[in-house]
Amino acid sequence: MKTIFKNFSFNPKNDILSGLTVALALVPEAVAFSFVAGIDPLVGLYGAFMMGLITALFGGRPGMISGATGAMAVVMVHLIQKGNEVGLTLDTPVENLGLQWLFITLLLVGSIQVLAGVLRLGKFVRLIPHPVMMGFVNGLAIVIFISQLGMFKQTEGGVSSWLNGSELYIMIGLVALTMLIMYFLPKLTKKLPAALIAIIVVACITIFGGIDVSTVGSFIKDGGGTGLEGGLPTFQIQIFSLFDTIAGNWGLIISTAFLLAAVGLIESLMTLNLVDEITESRGSGNRECVAQGGANFLNGLFGGMGGCAMIGQSIINVNSGGRGRLSGIVAAVALLCFVLFGAPLIEQIPIAALVGVMFMVVIGTFAWSSFRILNKIPLPDAIVLISVSAITVWQDLAVAVIAGVIMSALVFAWNNATMIRARKTVKENGVKVYEIWGPLFFGSVQAFNNKFDVKGDPDTIEIDFMESKVNDHSGIEALRGIANKYLDLNKQIRLTHLSPECQTLLLKANPEFATIIEKSIDDPRYYVVTSQLDSQV
């Protein structure tokens, strides 16, 4: 209960109004992503409701909105198609078996995500570099923009074509009106959520003006749906009797579950990080993992599509004043009320109004400053920024973020691999001293080994690690290897200013090294080898 009431609401009026705005924007998104996945729109709406409610109550980021998302819908498609094909080949055919497989998969997805939270893996979002973050938001803004262009099409007889003539001009005019209201209204007053007012104004113009435009209702019917109206989600007890239908396909189920879990967590944690920056506060990534997992598990049990955090709706929410948990709760409950009671009214909302809202989200999401700083940041960072943006558009958010982190990590490793130095001096007594400076890790091992002239060095050698940092097991092995080379030539070697951790690891593999490790009173300036390496030895 403490989790529920913590940060419940900072401003109830703003939370309620922004929650209603988000609920209106969630409807076409959930419906559209349902069509992408090839399932009934009600499954997407139920998924958005359950995801939104659970994460609003127990998530790690008050004000963040979760629901059915395109990134996860794309991953679901192959599983659902395969399941439907199998369903037709059974002795007793099962209709929509792919959807039942999805519910079973979501049970695994939820379990994986909860485990990630329990193991505190959410903290790794802090390792995402800033260029990756900027590329992420830029690519996401482009994806949102491109997805809205599909709303400028019409479907007749199963054939889709672009709007033209008066229909196109009306659509553009209503989108522009929505954007103008959202731009100028906050300059007059911030007491009213601009997005909600814009939607209401445009809806009133089309309804009372008798203007024939595409609406939420027509959008659903054009996609093959029957409407928004439905009942409460029901317990999917039948999925437990369908496990035998998966024989031979568990590999597909499990791999899809891990992919969905990864995509959901990456998108959610990235969204959490972005909302943290907007609100200048800090959420809990681990708690968000647990909440997302619990919500997806519930979706599997009660017939929802599943999902993750939605960056577009989250930005609408926080920019409209929704900073507490109440805003997410209102959005989820309002969405369910639309399905239960308000379907006829919601179906009359013009698609143009929702497109205008999303276009303003695109403008607010895109990091326009990236154009200004591209020639001011290091070239590798600029390449990462552009690459992540492009991959986000080409593939999806999760792939883009993973690729960006790998690229940044490789650049970091390469740069640090070239930093290791060895200052060489000879004492009056003939002892040659190698003063190592810089990190010793897998990337710098070769450069480290090249610093030494084992055969040409005098009979007594000292390697000083006062200003060196041994970072990993590769560094330990390199140090052990160079010491053994000197010992094999019957030369004396002393290792000074090694940290206690490094000494322990060396002595585990080579107890005889006790004679060459010098116990220093003064500590090295870098503490080397973390306790995490204990498992590697």
Instruction: State residue 224's pLDDT score.
Output: 67
Average confidence (pLDDT) over 123-129: 76
Average confidence (pLDDT) over 506-510: 78
Instruction: Give the range of the structural domain holding residue 504, as residue numbers without chain letter.
Output: 418-536
User: Taking the model in full, what pTM does it have?
Assistant: 0.70
Read off the pLDDT band of 189 (50, 70, 90). confident
397 found inside a domain: no
Task: Give the angle 31-76-137 at the CA atoms, nearest 5°.
Answer: 70
Regarding whether 230 and 172 lie in a shared domain, the answer is yes
* Domain edge (last residue) among 385, 406, 431: 385
Average confidence (pLDDT) over 320-335: 91
407 found inside a domain: no
Sheet holding 432-440, edge to edge: 421-426, 432-440, 460-470, 492-496
Residue 243's nearest CA partner among 416, 431, 97, 137 is: 97
The token duo for 163 is: 């709007």
Instruction: State residue 521's pLDDT score.
Output: 55
Regarding whether 425 and 381 lie in a shared domain, the answer is no
301 pLDDT exceeds 90? yes
Q: How confident is the prediction for the chain on average, in pLDDT?
A: 85
Regarding whether 205 and 107 lie in a shared domain, the answer is yes
Instruction: State residue 536's pLDDT score.
Output: 41
Regarding whether 428 and 330 lie in a shared domain, the answer is no
Sign of CA dihedral 425, 427, 430, 432: negative
Regarding whether 461 and 356 lie in a shared domain, the answer is no
Strands 460-470 and 432-440: parallel
523 pLDDT exceeds 80? no
Regarding whether 368 and 490 lie in a shared domain, the answer is no
90 found inside a domain: yes
Length of the chain: 537
Regarding whether 482 and 366 lie in a shared domain, the answer is no
Residue 464's nearest CA partner among 490, 491, 416, 427 is: 427
Instruction: State residue 5's pLDDT score.
Output: 58
DSSP E strands: which ranges in 32-95? Answer: 66-67
Regarding whether 255 and 152 lie in a shared domain, the answer is yes
At 512-522, the pLDDT tens digits run 788 888 876 55
At 131-158, the pLDDT tens digits run 988 888 888 788 878 878 888 887 776 6
398 found inside a domain: no
Domain count, the chain: 2
**Residue 530 or residue 149, greater confidence:** 149
Q: Which amino acid is at 445?
A: V
At 400-458, the pLDDT tens digits run 888 998 999 888 888 877 788 899 999 988 999 999 998 888 888 998 999 999 999 99
Average confidence (pLDDT) over 82-92: 86
Instruction: Let me know: does 34 contact 43? Beta carbons within 8 Å.
Output: yes
Q: In Å, what is the CA distance from 147 to each residue of 75, 296, 318?
A: 17, 24, 22
Q: Three-state SS for 39? A: coil
- Residue 449: CATH number of its domain: 3.30.750.24
Task: Give the whole-angstrom CA distance, residue 463 versus residue 207.
Answer: 82
Regarding whether 128 and 66 lie in a shared domain, the answer is yes
SS (H, E, C) 408-465: HHHHHHHHHHCCCEEEEEECCCCCEEEEEEEEECCCCHHHHHCCCCCCCCCCEEEEEE
Regarding whether 243 and 381 lie in a shared domain, the answer is yes
Instruction: State residue 218's pLDDT score.
Output: 83
395 found inside a domain: no
Read off the pLDDT band of 110 (50, 70, 90). very high
Task: Give the whole-angstrom CA distance, residue 255 versus residue 344.
Answer: 40
Instruction: State residue 534's pLDDT score.
Output: 42
Instruction: State residue 533's pLDDT score.
Output: 40
85 found inside a domain: yes
Instruction: State residue 300's pLDDT score.
Output: 95
Regarding whether 475 and 328 lie in a shared domain, the answer is no
315 found inside a domain: yes
Sign of CA dihedral 242, 43, 51, 141: positive
* Domain edge (last residue) among 370, 385, 400: 385
Average confidence (pLDDT) over 380-408: 87
Regarding whether 200 and 315 lie in a shared domain, the answer is yes
At 248-284, the pLDDT tens digits run 889 999 999 998 998 888 888 888 888 888 888 888 8
402 found inside a domain: no
**Residue 251 or residue 343, greater confidence:** 251
